[in-house]
Amino acid sequence: MKTIIAVFVCAFLSLGMYAQNIIGAYEAFETSENGDKIRSVVIFADGYQVLSKYNVTTGKFIHTNGGTWKLEGDMMTEKVEFHTDNAESVGTEVTFKVAITENTIQIVGHDMILKRIDDGTPGELQGAWLMSGRIRDGKTQTRDTNRPRKTMKILSGTQFQWIAYNTETKQFMGTGGGTYTTIDGKYTENIQFFSRDDSKAGLSLKFNYELIDGNWLHSGLSSKGSPIHEIWSVRE
């Protein structure tokens, strides 16, 4: 009996350890009916997550959904904030059982196993951020991050994704993502998918960045070549 209890406690503690380490990015690959390689990427930040699918070869965007998450034991509950295939699910909660190891995560009952890409390092901007302002002509224009219309960016240690959406109207406006680096004050995005324009896949954009009083100041040229100077705040 003591042996059984010891095994149970060990398993429980192991699950708790992995749950604490779920922060980061995960990926899985599948082949479509016409032979295309499809990549799924999930990014978990503290309290927020996003899943996306795109064509690896062409960069064609396929799907994204996400919102908040919490893990209790082996049961994960997600509240949907955006969903490209099912807008009516926005605002609803879904709970499902997950199997977590040090390097994988799987929804129990589903075949897909997502393998860890990173654990939230080495990028300095890991977390969930909301656009909270812009600087134009030297003047700061702030944005209320509590309003339904949001532009959120979620970053792991190596992966990033931004999403524009409205939790009140359930409208999805756009998204893009890929890999990123933060080196010597330079933030570089390597775009792997872009819902508004597939031709942007493959672009690398370099920005200046700095962290001031917990805010991320971000300046450079957008994917359209327009100057931008944005302020992002950590999402609580």
pLDDT, mean over the chain? 91
pLDDT band at 6 (very low <50, low <70, confident <90, very high): very low
Q: Which residue has the higher pLDDT, 108 or 1?
A: 108
Q: For residue 2, what pLDDT is reported?
A: 38
Decide if pLDDT at 93 tops 80: yes
Average confidence (pLDDT) over 142-150? 96
Average confidence (pLDDT) over 76-86? 98
What percent of the chain has a predicted confidence (pLDDT) above 90? 88
Amino acid found at 146: N
The pLDDT tens digits for 113-132 are: 999 999 999 999 999 999 99
| Domains contained in the chain, CATH given | 2-118 (2.40.128), 127-234 (2.40.128.490)
Global pTM reads 0.90
The pLDDT tens digits for 160-202 are: 999 999 999 999 999 999 999 999 999 999 999 999 999 999 9
Average confidence (pLDDT) over 135-160? 95
Q: For residue 137, what pLDDT is reported?
A: 87
pLDDT band at 15 (very low <50, low <70, confident <90, very high): very low
In whole angstroms, give the CA distance from residue 189 to residue 15: 33
